[in-house]
Amino acid sequence: MQVPQNGEDLAGQPWYHGPLSRQKAEALLQQDGDFLVRASGSRGGHPVISCRWRGSVLHFEVFRVALRPRPGRPAALFQLEDEQFRSVPALVRSYVATQRPLSQATGAVACRPVTRQGPLRRSFSEDTLVDSPARAEPLRERKWSNSQPADLAHMGRSREDHLEPGASTMPVAALPRTGSDPVLLKAPALLGTVADTLRASDGQLHAKAPTKPPRTPSLVLPDVSGRPPTYCELVPRVASAQGPPPGQSWPEPDSLWWEAEEEEEEEEENRCFRRPQAEVSFCPPDTRSCLLSPHNRPLEPEVLRKLRGLFLEHHPDSTALHLLLVDCQATGLLGVTRFQRANMGVASGLELLTLPHGHRLRVELLERHETLALAGALAVLGCSGPLEERATALRGLVELALALWPGAAGDLPGMAAVMGALLMPQVTRLEHTWRQLRRSHTEAALAFEQELKPLMRALDEGAGPRDPREVALPHVAPAARLLEGEELGGPLDESCERLLRTLHRARQVARDAPRFRQVAAQRLRGFRPNLELREALTTGFLRRLLWGSRGLGAPLPQRLEKFQRVLSVLSQRLEPDH
């Protein structure tokens, strides 16, 4: 389910439930991966992410890191452990979209937001949660002209914000002072906040750096005293309390990895070469699936029905962007970490493909191409209903291939996989189905014959478009096959010409990798994927769907051959030979 968004206002997010008790939050979370954000009464109204994981409900408090006022920079950042964000909605979107654990200790992953029912209840404590510029109060003028620098700590906040419930409303000027101590008395900071404090020796224009947030108790289990469960352990990492080095500023919050800006050219040029240490894989590690059970069987009917409905809900253009996002990650074009770049010795997977230690990446991409093609063919051959149903499935694949076309999404590997499904022998032999496609969906049939097939033929021969202005991700399967030792076939002179053309194209793709990365990030800017659809297009999910959790241990050629036989049986059942 896609996380809805309404700008950066926390109160405008459907998954934000306002002041909600821990018990009511736990009752709303039914399945692993369900989550919501609430204002915790025991934490002074601070936002808490409640998530069900492995049968238990875990609670994670969001820390607020205050920053010195500076034009163009937020007044505070929000974090769980590592990354810092400009607002709580930005933090939630990042963790849900990337499916990273909310904490390293628990490994809990937030997948599905639980939306609130009815209007949002507000409390006085929520007014202190400033997570967007729209809710920040203007600075008020100074009342005194004396030399009390501690008064700057209260600028922009009302007098009542510093008082506990039931405390005296004595004017600030009437607070007692001892000797020459200019520090004003104020209420202690709430647990989990990082507040700016000033001493008399601090300059009026330079506040202290934020202090490190305290570590909260670990585990969500009741103690022997019978008190309510405590919050999960988070180990926030913030900058040193001594402030940033001279000439540098506080780090800005990281954006989603597919929206990350390019590294500066000077940094790449000045980076020292490091000998590759190991082969790099861009396939994400196996995480708890939101669609499959831990020990699933091949082609579970309930999962296939859910996937069918999921693809019908999305327009081909939206599905194409989901596929582009997953393909860019699988190819190592976007989302490459510094550690991965250091290990492979180059900046992206398009360059790694052409190197000897890119063997693992080439094998993974070839397996992804074959797996996507088999899944696409299954979408047609699995239609056991009327003839029009199969023709509609063919039209859907044709429209998806057109949405991946150069100049549209520009995902040529995705388009090649869809065309591989349409050109599979078990699909092409369905004469009645293709005749129904030409009769009912003539435009799609003409586009397949006159546009898609010629382009696919050119791409397989090492030609076709590769201009980064039109293509976000180039077709690399021919180069991967060639570098893995597969024979081209055909006459000798044509094979030699095709070999040289393919190698030359691979060298050009590696050279233009930064431009492809820039175009892909631009195509995906502002895109918020549906988490279930995105998972359904990953290689790991498709492998488990087609062969089951137990069948993954077999070698790839054996798995491919076995599923080809399955597709042949399905094809014969749909249209038997006469």
Task: List, for residues 480-524, the tens digit of each pLDDT value.
Answer: 999 998 877 666 667 788 888 899 999 999 999 999 999 999 999
pLDDT score recorded for residue 82: 72
Q: State the average pLDDT over residues 239-254.
A: 37
Instruction: List Cα–Cα distances, 345 to 216, 263, 342, 355, in angstroms.
Output: 40, 16, 5, 10
Q: Residues 227, 217: contact at Cβ < 8 Å?
A: no
Q: Which of 254-258, 274-278, 563-567 has the highest mean pLDDT?
A: 563-567
pLDDT score recorded for residue 259: 55
Q: State the average pLDDT over residues 453-471.
A: 87
Q: Residues 404, 324: contact at Cβ < 8 Å?
A: yes
The CATH code that applies to domain 301-546 is: 1.10.840.10
Phi, psi dihedrals of residue 306, rounded to the nearest 5°: -65, -40
Q: Which of 3-17, 178-192, 208-222, 368-382 has the highest mean pLDDT?
A: 368-382
Least confident span in 50-59, 408-417, 432-441: 50-59
pLDDT score recorded for residue 117: 82
Q: What angle do CA 178, 184, 186 make, to 5 degrees?
A: 120
Instruction: List Cα–Cα distances, 429 to 128, 262, 578, in angstroms.
Output: 67, 47, 12
Task: Report domain extents, the chain.
Answer: 10-136+214-243, 301-546
Q: State the average pLDDT over residues 356-367.
A: 92
Percent of the chain with pLDDT over 70: 69
pLDDT score recorded for residue 150: 41
Q: What span, in angstroms and rounded, lies between the C-alpha atoms of 37 and 60?
A: 9
Q: State the average pLDDT over residues 264-290.
A: 63
Output 134 or 105, whichever has higher pLDDT. Answer: 105
Q: Which of 66-70, 171-175, 559-563 has the highest mean pLDDT?
A: 559-563
Q: State the average pLDDT over residues 196-214.
A: 43
**pLDDT reading at 387 higher than 70:** yes
Q: What span, in angstroms and rounded, lies between the C-alpha atoms of 52 and 58?
A: 6
pLDDT score recorded for residue 96: 86
44 CB-side CA count, 13 A:
17
**pLDDT reading at 85 higher than 80:** yes
Output 161 or 469, whichever has higher pLDDT. Answer: 469
pLDDT score recorded for residue 153: 41
Q: What span, in angstroms and rounded, lies between the C-alpha atoms of 244 and 466?
A: 44
Task: List, for residues 142-195, the tens digit of each pLDDT value.
Answer: 444 444 444 444 444 443 444 444 444 444 334 444 444 443 334 444 434 433
pLDDT score recorded for residue 287: 65
Instruction: List Cα–Cα distances, 252 to 47, 74, 374, in angstroms.
Output: 21, 9, 43
Does residue 274 come out as left (phi exceeding 0), alpha (psi in the -120 to 50 range) or beta? Answer: beta
> pTM of the predicted model, to two decimals?
0.59
pLDDT score recorded for residue 87: 87
pLDDT score recorded for residue 271: 53
In the CATH scheme, what is the homologous superfamily, with its name and number, of domain 10-136+214-243? SH2 domain (3.30.505.10)
Q: State the average pLDDT over residues 371-397.
A: 94
Q: State the average pLDDT over residues 279-304.
A: 83
Instruction: List Cα–Cα distances, 510 to 409, 451, 464, 507, in angstroms.
Output: 20, 27, 16, 5
**pLDDT reading at 373 higher than 80:** yes
Token pair for 81: 């452990």
Percent of the chain with pLDDT over 90: 38
Q: What span, in angstroms and rounded, lies between the C-alpha atoms of 520 and 404?
A: 12
